[in-house]
Amino acid sequence: MLAKKSGGRILADNISDVDTIIGMQNVGIRYGQGAEVLSDINLTLRRGSFHFLTGKSGAGKTSLLSMMYLSQKASRGIVKIFGRNIAFADRDCLALLRRRIGVVFQDFRLLDHMTAFDNVALPLRVCGMEEREVRKRVTELLQWVELSKKINDRASTLSGGEKQRVAIARAVINRPEILLADEPTGNVDSDIANKLMKLFVELNKLGTTVVIATHSERLITDFPFPRLHLQNKGLKIYRPVVLDGTERRL
């Protein structure tokens, strides 16, 4: 068992690797010399689980997600993704791990000069998938998110809601082991939001671990999954109560 010092304390690397796909122990994050944005975060997400991530604006949701998708390292503590201690992962290792994670960003991050089809197809082409299979998968998914008429339109010409759906399709097209989404239904109407949530749920049933940051109380009510709530730089986990009064453990 590995132990390290952080702020005068000894941290034991005792996060179980058997069922844990994302693990954090005594994690803190700060930017530059400023105060910590998140402090003493302890979190264990099992493979195949589904969680909402909530908290007021500025509570640290984006910071927590950024550690999960490996774009930001913790300032202290232990972070494990897929059983790997990220503190000891080199650039090549991180790149390989990121390929197993699908991310939906609030600002979409599409390639504006490319069509909706080519944006969604990009992860499959990077992995070397045969073009016939790429076309089949991408076409089916864009039909599902009701963008079949926009399939050959450049991303720069799409509306905010259309860009959101393209970004979601790109994140899920290669059936990632982890899906992280930052307000994925914020730019679409309620009917499309429900359809996208059903897509996330179906992906979860296939084994993908899902974390969705949201401010929507309606989504949290309609889809009763556990909630990771950030407040006062810390994290609390709330589990939904089912009709018999027991907690739903996922």
Predicted pLDDT of residue 10: 35
Residue 130's DSSP bridge partners are: none
Predicted pLDDT of residue 13: 46
Q: How far lies 176's CA from each of 19, 88, 148, 180, 193, in Å?
A: 17, 23, 23, 10, 20
Domain 1-100+176-250 has CATH 3.40.50.360: no
Given phi > 0 = left and psi -120 to 50 = alpha, else beta, which region is 34?
Answer: beta
| Residue 154 DSSP label | B
* Helix, strand and coil percent figures for the chain, each rounded to 5: 35, 25, 40
Nearest 5°: phi and psi at 226?
Answer: -55, 150
- Where along the chain do the CATH 3.40.50.300 domains lie? 1-100+176-250
Predicted pLDDT of residue 250: 42
Band of residue 240 on the pLDDT scale cut at 50, 70, 90: confident
Would the pLDDT of 6 be above 90? no
Query: How many Å apart are CA 39 and CA 123, to the nearest integer?
Result: 34
pLDDT (average), residues 215-240: 93
Predicted pLDDT of residue 16: 54
Nearest 5°: phi and psi at 24?
Answer: -135, 135
Would the pLDDT of 1 be above 80? no
Tokens standing for residue 87: 């503190």
Q: Which residues contact 165 (CB under 8 A, 6 or more apart)?
A: 145, 146, 147, 188, 192, 196
Query: How many Å apart are CA 215 and CA 53, to the nearest integer?
Result: 9
Predicted pLDDT of residue 233: 96
Half-sphere exposure of 189 (CA within 13 A, CB side): 3
Pick the range with the lowest mean pLDDT from 62-71, 149-158, 193-202.
Answer: 193-202
Predicted confidence (pLDDT) per residue in 26-83, tens digit: 999 999 999 999 999 999 999 999 999 999 999 999 999 999 999 999 999 999 999 9
Tokens standing for residue 60: 């640290």
250 or 224: which carries more pLDDT confidence?
A: 224
Predicted confidence (pLDDT) per residue in 102-132, tens digit: 999 989 999 999 999 999 999 999 989 999 9
pLDDT (average), residues 149-178: 95
